[in-house]
Amino acid sequence: MAITWFPGHMNRATKELRKLAKVSDLVIELLDARAPNASRNPLLASIAPELPRIYVLSKADLADQETTAQWYDYFKQQESKTCLISSIENPISAGNLLAAIINLSIEISANSSKQMIVAGIPNVGKSTFINKICGRKVAKTGNEPAITKRHQRIKLLENVYLVDTPGMMWPKLEDQEAAYKLAAIGTIRNTAIDSEEIAWFTAEYLLEHQTGALKNRYGVTAELQTAEQEIEAIAKASGAKNKGSRINTIKCLKHY
Ligand SMILES: Nc1nc2c(ncn2[C@@H]2O[C@H](COP(=O)(O)OP(=O)(O)OP(=O)(O)O)[C@@H](O)[C@H]2O)c(=O)[nH]1
Ligand SMILES: [Mg+2]
């Protein structure tokens, strides 16, 4: 099933973002560290190419550490761009953010106000990031895509503002393998996907690329050779079963 998901509020948010970019100084783009390339929204690149950018590799606690380090180096070396890594254990503080901003030669002073857009795909952790930076709950969060529906301007310091934005997809997902990865990490509303299909895609993908991590996480000692064996191991470790002990593949997907 081809995946496409671009509800009306995202279309509206895209238009508003174009206006917002004209009066902002910086874009903070959150990418899911489990799939940084798939989670780069091409619309965002086209909306504000001239603005300095901080990439935040979010949910690093769920991602492969070495791969995250390679992406960090890749973004850091780009002109007018830098990168931060965020995880549950090590969220970005206001101090970390301000240091990154100064590094990009953006001056924070009492004379001029600065506005920073926090943007990215749905469910990547934008609102959580803002709450951590502010040290209090100022934005609504939740573990499903499209929680934030409208822009919200938040004062961080005197003269420094953050704008939380709705998670944005783009109208045509040309790269369907990337779209499947986004579905697997919870970017796309489950009414727009076939969850069973995504569960099998994820099982095959992780078997090919992350067998070691799978075995560690689910305490598997035997060799995992097929996606069926993998799903069975996850169901055993997580109790993802229906009545009659039949494996519930969709629950297994939620457990990754
Ligand atoms: N494991 C992990 N979960 C995180 C992290 N940051 C955020 N989350 C979780 O990810 C889910 C989505 O967080 P939100 O902050 O609502 O994401 P958002 O990008 O604002 O989502 P939308 O507004 O729907 O676009 C929540 O359940 C958060 O607790 C992280 O660093 N690690
Ligand atoms: Mg949000």
Extended strands (E) in 60-207: 81-85, 114-120, 152-157, 160-164
pLDDT of residue 135: 96
What separation in Å is there between the alpha carbon of 128 and the centre of ligand 1? Answer: 6
Tens of pLDDT, residue by residue over 15-63, are: 999 999 999 999 999 999 999 999 999 999 899 899 999 999 999 999 9
Contact present, 94 and 133 (Cβ < 8 Å): yes
Domain 8-164 identical in fold to domain 194-255:
no
206-232 as b/e, with b when 16 or more CB fall inside 10 Å? bbeebeeebbebbebeeebeebeebbb
Show Cβ contacts of residue 239 under 8 Å, excluding neighbours closer than 6 positions: none
Share of the chain above pLDDT 70, in %: 100
Instruction: Give the position of tokens 């180096």.
Output: 73
The pLDDT value recorded for residue 221 is 81
Atom 32 (ligand 1) nearest CA: 59
pTM across the whole model: 0.94
Q: If we measure between CA atoms, which residue out of 46, 54, 56, 58 comes closest to residue 21?
A: 46
Substitution site in 30, 128, 170 for ligand 1 pocket (most atoms within 8 Å of beta carbon): 128
Compute the distance from residue 28 Cα to the ligand 2 centre, in Å.
14
Q: Do 82 and 100 meet the contact criterion of CB atoms below 8 Å apart?
A: yes
- Domain extents for the chain? 8-164, 194-255
The pairing of strands 160-164 and 114-120 is parallel
The pLDDT tens digits for 191-227 are 999 999 999 999 999 999 998 888 888 888 888 899 9
Pocket of ligand 1 (CB under 6 A): 58-59, 61-62, 86-88, 122-128, 141-143, 145-148, 166-167
Least confident range of 30-44, 118-132, 145-159, 220-234: 220-234
Paired with 54 in beta bridges are 28, 82
The CATH topology of domain 8-164 is Rossmann fold (3.40.50)
Question: Cα Rg for the chain, rounded, in angstroms?
Answer: 19
Q: Is the pLDDT of residue 12 over 90?
A: yes
Domain 194-255 sits in CATH 1.10.40.50: no
Ligand number, closest to the Cα atom of 145: 1
